[in-house]
Chain A
Amino acid sequence: MSDHSGISRRSLLVGSGAAGVAGASIGYFGKKSSAVQSMTEVAKIGFYGVHQSGIENTPGLISNFVAFDLIDPTKANLQSVLRLFTDDAARLTQGKPALADGAPELAVNPANLTMTLGVGPSLFTRVPRLPSKPEFFNEIPAFPNDQLDPKWSGSDFIIQFCCDDSLTLSHAVGMIAKDLSTLAQVRWIQTGARSDKPAFSGTTSVRNLMGQVEGSDNPLPGNPIFNSLVWINEGPQWAKDGTILILRRIQMLMDKWEILDRSAQEMVIGRRLDNGAALGNKVENEPVNFEATDTLGLPLISANAHIRLAHGASLSERIYRRPYNYDNGIVDGKRDLGLIFAAFTSNPVTSYLPIQGRLAQSDSLNKWITAIGSSTYLILPGCTENSYIGETLFT
């Protein structure tokens, strides 16, 4: 369902045939040496398919998570939202202007734009006569150390925009906000970014704002268990081939983090900062040995290390993470930055909740992070050219 034409960062990283996969020296912008090349380069991701795009493909460099509430929560209005979203997304992601586009020139560079729509649990209480939602789909309960702010939490629906170009992204967000303006109100927007460079040569992991290598142990698309971990295959038929997005805004307490020396920082996670190798290992991809001890018999990966507690107790207790960094500048003299933690799972009750439960209880990292927003959405299944996203809710 993805079609990557031309040279893109994606094809380099995913390595579709190209030699020298993911070498830091052939990064995205390095390739775009001339203006001519960037004019002819068309990097786009297909919109139609069994699943919505924006999940399986490599995340775009920048993102907007835009949360909306219906103004008048009726079934007809929800249907209108979904039709308009589908029509706009099918065009804009392919580098075509939306209908009634006020600035069509801003649409011509798709830049791997994806637009992905998910519905929140509140929709099912607010909109009369919708089919019932899967039992496993609810707001994630607040954990003891959370300091959740309503301005970053929950809404009737969300649209995740990911893109490699800020102009394209702004245009797409603006177009959707205008098109939906009579039907829905924007409650909040979270803007995120990811590094354009792999954390080091030979990996697809990138660094987060704490400097850690992120993505080492993440079931990526192509992994044999990816489909069952991510795509819904139980519960009501309308949700089949959708997925559940858990979106948490997690502030990093950088002032405190920077006090720690490197080895302490590495112990908090259980992995090395330079190359992401688990403590005791040499390279990032080696299977983690949680039993390994030092000469004194102490565990190399401490009892409260983030990866020990986050590691799934079973194969099904795993989530697919697709996070973005956020940086909101300096607020009240303090840096306001962190992680837009975005994870996808087919069933949060059996995967996400046990992980988060362990982390909330004793993760070493908790001293240096605070969750300030939390939302859950059911990302609707994909659609064909003759239907629209969410049509399954109305049949």
Chain B
Amino acid sequence: MRSKLFATLALTCLLCGFNLVPVAADMTAMPGAKCSMPGMTVTVAKLTYLCQSKAGVLTWSTGLPVSKVAITLTDGWVKLATTGMSGAFGIVKNNTKNAVTIVGVASARAAAVQTHEMVMKNGAMVMQMKMDGFTIPAGKTLELKPGGNHLMLMGITKPIKAGDYLYLTLTTSTGGQATVRVIGKVFAGGNETYDTSNTTAMKP
């Protein structure tokens, strides 16, 4: 079933300005979708598949049975962007009695949405993909903000304008899903540098 293809992605990072390196993508046969970027999710026949990097190769996870999960996002907003990347922020609350891990995010307005964190590298704060997702303890909140943890919209499909509503579907490690809304806002900050060196799949 698996056919390995190499696809070249030339996304320009809106926040940091440099081009993402061409990606060797593993295009596992999923109906209508290619696993071309870590963080992508696809839901088919009540199963959600996550695009993950394993030993430097992008592969779809096994299907997680979709259910609803009580995660909410308040104060949600997304930075305006015409192409490329943009950051989405807000306060995510885990309203369940167990810890949840957000491992995938999807939006109709972006090719992929990744979970990003800020780390210190060579004396500078850079953002990078958080490969294991965001874990939120039971009943607790996680603040997503410029300069901290955030959601990264990659490959924006249609310009995000001021006042636009965007819907993001958050998927947990157990297949739980919640759809949340963010609003497009003018914001000058949040121009972090994107470090892709930990995103192992992004080697040619």
Contact = CB atoms under 8 A, between A and B. Distances in A.
Contacts of B80: 182
Given A179-B185, A179-B186, A99 B77 contact: yes
A100 B186 contact: yes
A390 B183 CA distance: 17
B162 interface: yes
A388 to B, nearest CB: 10
Interface band, chain A: 10 to 19
A81 interface: yes
Interface residues of B, number: 18
Contacts of B187: 100
Interface in A163-179: 178-179
Interface string A180-205: 11110000000000000000000000
Contacts of B162: 80, 84, 179-183
A84 B165 CA distance: 10
B120 interface: no
Nearest to A181: B186
B161 interface: yes
B166 to A, nearest CB: 12
Contacts of B189: 102
Contacts of A122: none
B163 interface: yes
Contacts, number: 44
A79 interface: yes
A83 interface: yes
B183 A182 contact: no
A87 interface: yes
B183 A83 contact: yes
B147 to A, nearest CB: 12
Interface in A73-121: 77, 79-84, 87, 99-100, 102
A102 B163 contact: no
Interface in A43-87: 77, 79-84, 87
A183 B188 contact: no
B163 A79 contact: yes
A178 B76 CA distance: 18
B186 A178 contact: yes
B186 A83 contact: no
For B79, B163, B165, B188, which residue has the most chain A Cβ atoms within 10 angstroms?
Answer: B163
Contacts of A100: 77, 79, 89, 185-187
B195 interface: no
14 contacts: A80-B164, A80-B184, A82-B163, A83-B165, A87-B183, A99-B185, A100-B77, A100-B89, A102-B189, A179-B185, A179-B186, A180-B162, A183-B162, A183-B163
